[in-house]
Amino acid sequence: MASSFAKVMSSRTTGLLMASLGAGAIATGYLMSDNAAVSADQRRKLYPPSADFPDLRKHNNCMASALTPAIYAKLRDKITPNNWTLDQCIQTGVDNPGHPFIKTVGMVAGDEESYEVFAEIFDPVIKDRHNGYDPRTMKHPTDLDASKIHSGVFDEKYVLSSRVRTGRSIRGLSLPPACSRSERREVERVTVQALAGLKGDLSGRYYSLTEMTEQEQQRLIDDHFLFDKPVSPLLTCAFIARDWPDARGIWHNNEKTFLIWINEEDHTRVISMEKGGNMKRVFERFCRGLKQVEQLIQERGWEFMWNERLGYILTCPSNLGTGLRAGVHIRLPKLSKDPRLGKILNNLRLQKRGTGGVDTAAVGDVFDISNLDRLGKSEVELVQLVVDGVNYLIECEKRLEKGQDIKIPAPIQHFRK
Ligand code: ADP
Ligand code: MG
């Protein structure tokens, strides 16, 4: 006994324990018990939260700005009904201090309950990311009436393609960072069965990634229809790439204008897109298709995760609310070289990405321009904001072509901070 005690006492772990608990606690004989029989959870709790607090000094994401030692201490040992922890929520933001092209959120939810159990960190992150929206006091509106959009057809000299997407999660199943293989396969089964009920121009079929060749996949990625392989550290550090490509796939109609991604970053992503500048038509198909998909899911006894404060619940807090990203691929050779572009986009609440997706740099003069916020404004309001903003950018480009000056517009007031 004495010799095993000496061995334990000399280990590095014990040194840390001595430092954080004091020798008195160790003398209780805890460490002399069979360590294998002690649960990982119990072992972790031997260390005070201050000893676990991540080093965020070089970080630039919403989670790192909001997480204080006090919040961490309060939440570290809480778990959701699916056994998901705060540390699992924030791992992606701890491991990825920043992103070269966008300011990231730095945390994900493992299940619907994560947003409640860890509200003390999710709420400030949501407020920061969604322009002051307060999830404790505000209610999120939904409006899928595409007929309300005006001026929604862009000049095709500049706009190459238009797209609207959202995500939807199936209530009762863990989200992609936390789901088991069986839950992931259940999402695929439920969704694919429901989508078989789509009719007319929306009818199509499902293409499982496990049954696609490498070339077929790459072709769909290159044509902007399919999500990229989950190589981004934002995704891998959020545990979203596990078991790839099991239960992943894409469903699309024959024209590839209405598409549903299954088990990428969210249970489902619903997309309407086409070449050219007819955003109004794209949004009309999006609304029509989304309503049908929801009805088909409900007919099978399932429902989407939703509540009136957070709207539709998705994996990343940046996508709460509408989950909607309406965007165009747009060519702006002059404006893109103007140093005022960043400020203009920010004031219009627009985001710029490369055309290969969020992790790609812009190539040449073509960018992906879309709404920055998703929560607190309805689908109609956000699409109109993109329509007005993109039309403003095109106006600027035309003025620069003629050698005229451009103005930075006043910031769009969203919510009071
Ligand atoms: P999402 O927000 O939908 O996850 P990503 O930035 O990850 O978007 O890009 C996913 C794919 O969608 C990429 O292949 C990207 O090129 C494509 N995409 C995004 N916006 C458009 C658009 N307006 N036109 C054509 N393809 C687009
Ligand atoms: Mg993406």
Q: What is the pLDDT of residues 268-325, one digit of tens each?
A: 999 999 999 999 999 999 999 999 999 999 999 999 999 999 999 999 999 999 999 9
Name the residue of 224, 228, 322 whose CB sits within 8 Å of the most ligand 1 atoms, as the mutation to test its pocket.
224
For the CA of 359, the nearest atom of ligand 1? 6
Name the residue of 226, 227, 350 whose CB sits within 8 Å of the most ligand 1 atoms, as the mutation to test its pocket.
227
Q: Where are the beta strands (DSSP E) in 97-245?
A: 159-168, 204-208
The per-residue pLDDT for 145 is: 98
**How sure is the predictor about 34, in pLDDT bands with cuts at 50, 70 and 90?**
low
Q: How many CB atoms lie within 10 A of CB 401?
A: 11
- Backbone dihedral region of 262: left (phi > 0), alpha (psi from -120 to 50 degrees) or beta? beta
For the CA of 221, the nearest atom of ligand 1? 14
Sheet of strand 159-168: strand arrangement? 204-208, 249-253, 258-262, 268-275, 159-168, 325-331, 366-371, 350-353
* Ranges 23-37, 130-144, 212-226: which has the least confidence: 23-37
The per-residue pLDDT for 199 is: 94
224 C-alpha to ligand 1 centroid (Å): 6
Query: In angstroms, rounded to a whole number, what is the distance separating the alpha carbons of residues 393 and 395?
Result: 5
For the CA of 328, the nearest atom of ligand 1? 23
Residues linked to residue 253 through DSSP beta bridges, in sequence order: 204
Residue 54 pLDDT greater than 60, yes or no = yes
Q: Where are the beta strands (DSSP E) in 96-178?
A: 159-168
What average pLDDT does the segment 383-405 reach? 98
Query: In angstroms, rounded to a whole number, what is the distance separating the alpha carbons of residues 210 and 343?
Result: 44
C-alpha pair distances (Å), 400 with each of 175, 307, 367: 46, 45, 18
Residue 4 pLDDT greater than 60, yes or no = no
Read off the DSSP letter of residue 150. -
355 C-alpha to ligand 1 centroid (Å): 7
Residue 387 or 6, more confident: 387
Read off the DSSP letter of residue 179. -
What average pLDDT does the segment 336-342 reach? 95
Spatial neighbors of 316 by CB under 8 A, at least 6 apart, are 105, 108, 109, 265
**Nearest by Cα to 86 from 49, 58, 46:** 49
**How sure is the predictor about 415, in pLDDT bands with cuts at 50, 70 and 90?**
low
Nearest CA to ligand 1 atom 17: 224
Phi, psi for residue 370 in degrees, rounded to 5: -145, 175
**How sure is the predictor about 13, in pLDDT bands with cuts at 50, 70 and 90?**
very low
Structure confidence by residue, pLDDT tens digits, 231-275? 999 999 999 999 999 999 999 999 999 999 999 999 999 999 999
Q: Over the chain, what is the mean pLDDT? A: 90
The per-residue pLDDT for 29 is: 41
The per-residue pLDDT for 27 is: 38
Residue 136 pLDDT greater than 80, yes or no = yes
The per-residue pLDDT for 216 is: 93
Query: In angstroms, rounded to a whole number, what is the distance separating the alpha carbons of residues 414 and 397?
Result: 26
Query: In angstroms, rounded to a whole number, what is the distance separating the alpha carbons of residues 86 and 320?
Result: 18
Residue 22 pLDDT greater than 70, yes or no = no
Residue 32 pLDDT greater than 50, yes or no = no
Closest ligand (CA of 221): 1
For the CA of 271, the nearest atom of ligand 1? 3
Tell whether ligand 1 has an atom less than 6 A from the beta carbon of residue 353. yes
Query: In angstroms, rounded to a whole number, what is the distance separating the alpha carbons of residues 342 and 403?
Result: 20
Q: Which two tokens stand for residue 381?
A: 């309001």
**Nearest by Cα to 73 from 48, 46, 107, 55:** 48
Residue 391 or 46, more confident: 391
